[in-house]
Amino acid sequence: MPFARIDLAKGKPPEYRATVGDVVYEGIVGILKAPDGDRFQVIGEHAPENFVFDPNFLNIKRSPDLIYIQVTSTVGNTKEQKLGFFRQVADELNRRLGVRREDVFISLVFVDREDWSFGNGEPW
């Protein structure tokens, strides 16, 4: 049951943000194998002074078009699925929006089922 946070610099049009959300969702369902319809995302825009990153960390040249993607999910994906998710999201954002692969920063966070409540204050 993934939850995705997507953060980017302020100023992109709604269609751009929607496409980023679509790409992340398609990777979550297609690669990480979440059930179809399991779409919970927050897309945040940030003023430049609140969107902080090192433009050269690990010798990767990042631009102000950087996109942060953090997906929290239950434990269970293989290393191959994780790597496939990273590649697919970077490739699709590049293909569909022209986002440089260097500007796709992804973090996967895995937690146990007992760490979730989907509503009503009830555990999953």
Sign of CA dihedral 35, 40, 46, 52: negative
What torsion, rounded to 10 degrees, do the Cα atoms 78, 82, 88, 90 define?
Answer: -170
Cα 112 to Cα 100: distance, rounded to the nearest angstrom = 33
- The one catalytic residue in 2, 48, 64, 123 is 2
For helices 14-30 and 79-97, angle between their N-to-C axes, nearest 10 degrees: 150
Q: How many CA atoms lie within 13 A of 91 on its CB side?
A: 8
Question: How many angstroms separate the CA atoms of 2 and 29, rounded?
Answer: 9
2 in catalytic set = yes
Q: Active-site residues: which are they?
A: 2
